[in-house]
Amino acid sequence: IDKFYYEVLIRMAEEESNMIPPGAFLPMVERYNLLPRLDRWVVSKSIEWLKNNTARTDMSLCINVAKSTLEDKVFVVFIQERLNAAGIEPCRLCFEIETADAAANLPACAIFARHVKSLGCQVSLCSFDHDRESLHLLRNIKADFIKIDGSLICNILRSEEDFNKVADINRFAHTQKIKTIGELVETPEILEKLAEIGVDYAQGFGINR
């Protein structure tokens, strides 16, 4: 493989160097409508990191985008300004969108994906399942990647039904020229099974913590 993608995860620092998990503080951030502001901060820090680590040209960063940020019409302008100022290739950023968020506001999500791809960035649809709604989203959002739901990936060694679902998702994505990512890959055996199916990328503690 000649390309590595790392998902940017956020924690909140508190006293004595303890780290607060996102589930403990993100609901409060959302309640006060601060998620778009937080997403801007993450984008700025990610681009700054790429600028300061120019030797890692094989690395791209994947950034989760909140549902409320998808509706922010100037967020893409902000991304463009930060990329231009840092001189970073746009393709080194991939913006991840949860399928549930995309389904909740498909028009805004489709517009965001189209605009961010016009900058040269990439787009990934996450928690992709084998249901009609997910397939509908894929027909309306021009994604570069889909991240196959971890609940399916975890069961592919035990459930023939889930194995077939993953294989079907992978086959459909490839017909659309979309690369696939298996999430929550915990063991070498699951990784080997994904390779057998032909899934393009894998993410999880079985790859790297």
9, 58, 64, 74, 142 from 111: Cα distances, Å:
25, 29, 17, 12, 10
> What does pLDDT average to in each consecutive run of 10 residues of the chain (209 residues)?
86 84 90 95 97 88 96 95 96 96 94 96 94 84 95 95 95 94 95 96 90
Task: Please indicate, yes or no, whether the overall pTM of this predicted structure exceeds 0.85.
Answer: yes
Give pLDDT, residue 16: 73
Helix (H) or strand (E) holding 94: strand 93-98
What DSSP line would sit under 24-50, residue for residue? HHHHHHHHTT-HHHHHHHHHHHHHHHH
